[in-house]
A and B are shown apart, each in its own frame.
Chain A
Amino acid sequence: MRAGFVMSEVGIGLRRNLTMTFAVVITVAISLSLLGIGLLSNSQVRTMKDYWYDKIEVSIFLCGPLSETPSCAGGPVTAEQRLEIQQDLQELPVVQTVYYESQSEAYQRFQERFKDSAIAQNVTVDQLPESFRVKLKDPTEFAVVESAFSGRPGVDVVQDQRAILEKFFSLLNVLRDGALVIGLASVLTAALLISNTLRIAAYNRRRETTVMKLVGASSFSIQLPFLLEGLFAAIVGWGISTGILSGLKFVVDDRIAPLLTFTNFFTWNDVWVASAYLLLTGVVVSGFASVLTLRKYLKV
C-alpha cells in the first residue's frame, strides 16, 4: 500500500469516529500528565535532597561544665583534646570542611535565633556548648564520623541533622510513590480505552478489512491504519500533556518559588526529560494495546 492511501484511510477512520478519537486523546493527555506529575515529584524530591543535604552538617558538641555523658567524666574539654579532635577531623577523608564554633559564637547564634522569645534572656554564655560543625563530602557517611568521635574523651555528643530530614523525606517519598502509582494506573486505563476503541473501529470497518483480506492484503497492511490511529491519539495526547507539565513549571516558578524559599525546584531540564519518558510510554503503550487488540480482531 502507498503512504497516501494509508493516510487517507487513517483520516477516514479518525473522522468517522470523531467523539471516540477525542475521548482517547483527552484520556491519554490526562493520564500522561498524571504520570508526568509523578515523574516531576521524583525530580522535586531529588532536588530538595540535593539542596538540603548540601547544607546539613554533623555537629560534634564538646564537653562543658554541665555535660553528663560518661565521656565527659574528666570535666570540660581541654585545649589539647580540642586540638586533637580538630586535627583528626581534618584528616578524615569523608570530611569536606570543619568549622569551630566557640561558646560565645553559639551564644550569639542562639540570641539571634530566639530573639523574640523569653528563653533568650535566661541563657548565659557558659550554658551553651562549644562544637565543631563538620560538613561531609557525602552526607550519608555520617556513621564514619560518629564511630570515630562518639564516646571519645572531650566529646559530649555527635549529632546528625540528617536524621531529622530523613523523616521529612520519607514522607515525601510516600507522596511521590503515590503520584507515580496514580499515574501508572491511569496510563493503564488509557491503554484499555485505546484497546476498546480499536476493537470498535475494527468492527466498524469489518467490511473494508474483509475485502482487504480477500484481495490479498498482508496482515500488516490491514492493521497499519488502526495502529497509526492509536499512535496518532497517543502523540497528540502526549503533546497536550507536555503543555500541561510546562504550565505547571510556569506556575511553580512564578507563584510557588517566591513563597517557598527554603528549597530549589525541579528545572526545565527535568520537564523535558519527563516529557521524553512520556512520549516513550505513550508510543509503547498504545503500540502494545493496538497490536494485542488487532491480532485478536483482525485475523487473516
Chain B
Amino acid sequence: MIRFEHVTKTYAKTDKPALSDVSIDVAKGEFVFLVGQSGSGKSTFLRLVLREEKASSGTIHVAGKDLGTLSNWKVPELRKQVGTVFQDFRLLPNKTVFENVAFALHVLGHTKKEIAREVPEIVELVGLAEKLNRRPGELSGGEQQRVAIARAYVSRPAILIADEPTGNLDPGTSIGIMKLLDRINREGTTVVMATHDSSIVDQMRKRVIELESGHVIRDQVRGVYGYTG
C-alpha cells in the first residue's frame, strides 16, 4: 500500500534532512504507529504520502502510484484514496455535522441522493447519529474528531492517515477515537497514525515505527511506545 525506498527529504533552505534514507513497506490492511520525538519527521512522512511534499531522493509508491512521476493534475486521484485526520480537526465551522461530511462527497461529485444515504450511515458509525445538525462549535473535542474521521472515511479510502488525532483529547476520549480507528482498520483500511501517546501505543500492540532525526531506528510488529530492549 505504502512503500518508501531510500527516501530522503530535505526542505528548501535547510541543510539537515527531515527524513534520511527511509525505507518502509506498509501492507494493505496494516495498522502502523509512527512514533518519535518532536521534530523527528513523522509529519514529514505523512506529507510525503499525501504528496503535499515531494521526496528529495528515493522513490515512494502509494496505492500503486509512483509519486515521483505522478503529475500534478493526478494528485487529486491519489488523495481520493487517502483519508486524512489531523490534531486540529479542520472542520468547517459554519456547516453542520451533516454538511461537513457531505462536503467531501459534494466535492467528489456524488449526487444528493447518494449523499443523503451515505452521510447518516457513516455518522452513525462514528456514533454521532443524534448530533447530525450540530455545528462544530457545539461539539466536544472528541466529537469533533469523530466528525473529521467520518469525513475522511465516508468515501471509503484505501488508506487513512492520522497525524496525532488524539493530541488535543483527554485519555478517556482518546480511547474512544482509537476504537473507532481500529474498527475502520478491521474493515480493511490501511491506517498510519503518528502519535506521542505512549499509553495508546502500548495498549494497542500494533506495528510501531520509530523515527529519530529523520532515521528509522525501530520497526517492530506488535510493538510498544518506548522500546527498552
Contacts and interface: CB of A to CB of B under 8 A. Distances in A.
Contacts of A213: 79
B134 interface: no
Given A207-B90, A207-B92, A216 B106 contact: no
Interface in B96-154: 103-104, 106-109, 111-112, 151-152
Contacts of B112: 2, 4
A216 B72 contact: no
Interface string A210-231: 1111111111010000000000
Contact of B90 (A2, A214, A218, A300): A214
Nearest to B84: A214
B73 A217 contact: no
Given A1-B106, A2-B111, A207-B92, A215 B151 contact: yes
A168 interface: no
A211 B103 contact: yes
Interface residues of A, number: 18
Nearest to B81: A216
Contact of A210 (B75, B78, B81, B90): B90
B206 interface: no
B39 interface: no
A216 B92 contact: no
A211 B73 contact: no
B187 interface: no
A262 interface: no
If over half of B's interface residues share one DSSP class (helix, strand or loop), that class is named, otherwise mixed; here it is helix
A169 B90 CA distance: 65
Contact of A216 (B78, B93, B111): B78
Contacts of B72: 219, 300
A68 interface: no
B196 interface: no
12 contacts: A2-B111, A207-B93, A208-B103, A211-B103, A211-B104, A211-B151, A216-B77, A216-B78, A216-B80, A216-B81, A216-B155, A300-B75
Contacts of B226: none
Name the 3 nearest CB pairs between A and B, nearest first.
A216-B80, A216-B79, A215-B104
Given A211-B103, A300-B72, A300-B75, A217 B92 contact: no
Given A2-B111, A212-B107, A218 B76 contact: yes
A219 B73 CA distance: 8
A27 B109 CA distance: 35
Given A1-B106, A208-B92, A216-B80, 15 more contacts: A4-B112, A207-B90, A208-B103, A211-B92, A211-B103, A211-B107, A211-B151, A212-B103, A213-B79, A214-B79, A215-B108, A215-B155, A216-B107, A219-B73, A300-B76
Interface of B: 50, 72-73, 75-81, 84, 90, 92-93, 103-104, 106-109, 111-112, 151-152, 155
A3 to B, nearest CB: 11
Interface in A244-300: 300
A216 B76 contact: yes
A218 B109 CA distance: 11
A141 to B, nearest CB: 60
A208 B103 CA distance: 9
Contacts of B92: 207-208, 211
A1 B152 CA distance: 17
A221 B75 contact: no
Contacts of B79: 213-216
Most buried by A among B80, B90, B107, B111: B107
Contacts of B155: 215-216
Interface in A165-219: 207-208, 210-219
A213 B51 CA distance: 11
A5 B103 CA distance: 9
Contacts of B151: 211, 215
A223 to B, nearest CB: 13
Contacts of B103: 208, 211-212, 215
A100 to B, nearest CB: 78
A296 to B, nearest CB: 15
Contacts of A300: 72, 75-76
Interface in A98-125: none
Contacts of A207: 90, 92-93
A102 to B, nearest CB: 83
Given A2-B109, A207-B92, A218 B73 contact: yes
B29 to A, nearest CB: 21
A219 B71 CA distance: 13
